Amino acid sequence: MNTPRKHHTVPKFLLKNFCYRTSKKKMIHTFDKKKGKEYVQTVDSASTRRDFYSIKGNIEVELILGQLESDVAPIITRIIQEKSISFLTEEEKIALSIFVVVQNTRTYSQLLTIEGMQEFLKKRSEELSGKAIEEKFSHKNRFAFFKMLLDSPKLYQLILMKDWCLLETTDNAPFYISDHPVTLFNKVNLGPYGNLGLASPGIQITLPISSTLSISFLCKSILGEKMKKFNSPEIQTQIKVMKMMDPNFTGFEQHEKIASGKPWNLSSESLMFYNSLQVEFSEDYLYCPKNKFALAEKMISDDPKFKSGLRMTMG
């Protein structure tokens, strides 16, 4: 049996939700951050690396990832079709939670992060010992990457326990997706400990699932008190009274959508924010059903650091 050697670091079923169809194939607009160029390619070719999940031994990483994708693909398809997350069962939410933590771990950007950490530790050891370390760490880096990847499903509760929110934009103003599609954002300054961990207080984790829908997983501290007040009997009574007086009353529309699992409609400014996170976290490539990469071009022009992905800094 021929084993496929072209491995998708972002599942093909997910990328298909950001493509456009020609008479023959599903195509996707791609922006190469390092070259600053846009081009079109097939979904089959997008976000792939040769033998990326190949590992010696009996562990079939690609097959494990494929099974997870098969389990989650119909769940995401139904979310897109119904524009809702209200129907999700506990089992489906667990499957999605595992998918998110695995996707956050399985990318080329994460491998480069591990390599950067190893290089930092090597240099620090050399400084302390005064001796050069000749040992090459490339095989150890890949071992650490695969161990982190295979262990990542254990972290699913860090997604499951959060407030889930569906975000929506329009076909004319689509979401980006990238070669590292899970993004993290946090307004809370946690000092030297960093604030972009899955369990960090105030963390917001977002995954685009189509060109018009994203799922955001919010730390309970972000919406917790607001939603608690919204769900209180006093506020619910006030809403009923206001709607009786004015059927068009929408004062709590967004809160109602979150509580019901319906999507929160984003403003143009909010869309720009979420797409900017894709630019920041992506390692090499951004994807979109339209050639709308002006935001990426401007961010890179303003600050060349965005030509590569986000890196953990130490020391």
Confidence (pTM): 0.87
Specify burial of residue 182 (Cβ count, 10 A radius: 0-12, 13-18, 19+). buried
Q: For residue 290, what are its two tokens? A: 């339209």
In a domain, 186, yes or no: yes
Domain count of the chain? Answer: 1
Range of the structural domain that residue 285 is part of: 6-306
Residue 102: phi and psi, rounded to 5, are: -70, -45
In a domain, 313, yes or no: no
Question: Rounded distance, CA 47 to CA 182, Å?
Answer: 14
- Predicted pLDDT at 172: 96
In a domain, 312, yes or no: no
Question: Rounded distance, CA 253 to CA 249, Å?
Answer: 8
In a domain, 16, yes or no: yes
Q: Is 112 helix (H, G, I), strand (E, B) or coil?
A: helix
Cα atoms found within 13 Å of the Cα of residue 20, Cβ hemisphere only = 13
In a domain, 232, yes or no: yes
**pLDDT, tens digit, 9 for 90 and up, residues 9-47:** 999 999 999 999 877 789 999 999 999 999 999 999 999
pLDDT < 50: residue spans in the chain = 249
